[in-house]
Amino acid sequence: MWEEDRMHGQGRYTFTSGAEYNGQWVEGKMFGFGKMVYADGTSYEGTWFNNMMHGEGSYVDADGVNWEGIFVNGSFESKI
Instruction: Report the chain (80 residues): mean pLDDT per 10 consecutive residues.
Output: 82 96 95 97 97 98 95 93
CB atoms closer than 10 angstroms to residue 31: 20
User: Which architecture does CATH list for 2-74?
Assistant: Single Sheet (2.20)
- Note the pLDDT of residue 54: 98
DSSP state of 1: -
- Note the pLDDT of residue 2: 73
- Note the pLDDT of residue 45: 98
Q: Any idea where the domains of the chain sit in the sequence?
A: 2-74
- Note the pLDDT of residue 6: 87
Q: Which residues lie closer than 8 Å to 19 by C-beta, 6 or more apart? A: 36, 37, 38, 39
CA dist., res. 80 & res. 38, Å (int): 24
- Note the pLDDT of residue 74: 95
